[in-house]
C-alpha cells in the first residue's frame, strides 16, 4: 500500500432537481427517466432521496433497467 497527495473531488448533484421540477410542471402522470450512462439503481436512489428531502408529491419507480417518475395518486 502507498499514499499520494491529492484533493477530494467535490460532491456532485447526481440528481438534477431541474428534471424533477420539469416533470412536475409538465402535468404528465408518468415519465421515463433517461439514465445518461449511469446505472438504474444509482439514478433511482438519487431521485428517491431528492424527492424525500424536498417532499414532492411524486415517486420514483424502478422496473428492471428502467426508472420512472410518477405522480402519487390517492396516497
pTM of the entire structure?
0.76
With cut-offs at 50, 70 and 90, classify the pLDDT of residue 73.
confident
The number of residues making up the chain comes to: 75
Q: What is the largest CA-CA distance in the chain?
A: 56
Which residues neighbour 23 within 8 Å (Cβ) at sequence distance 6 or greater? Answer: 31, 58, 69
**Which one has a higher pLDDT value, 75 or 20?**
20
For the cut 90, the answer to whether the pLDDT of residue 14 exceeds it is no
Query: Does the structure show a pLDDT above 70 at 13?
Result: no
Instruction: Tell me the per-residue pLDDT of 25-57, one tens digit each, with 9 for 90 and over.
Output: 999 999 999 888 889 998 899 899 999 998 889
Amino acid at each position: 500500500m502507498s499514499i499520494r497527495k491529492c484533493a477530494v473531488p467535490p460532491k456532485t448533484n447526481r440528481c438534477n432537481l431541474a428534471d424533477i421540477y420539469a416533470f412536475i410542471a409538465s402535468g404528465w402522470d408518468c415519465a421515463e427517466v433517461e439514465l445518461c450512462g449511469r446505472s438504474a439503481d444509482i439514478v433511482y436512489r438519487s431521485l428517491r432521496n431528492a424527492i424525500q428531502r424536498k417532499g414532492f408529491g411524486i415517486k420514483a419507480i424502478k422496473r428492471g433497467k428502467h426508472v420512472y417518475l410518477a405522480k402519487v395518486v390517492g396516497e
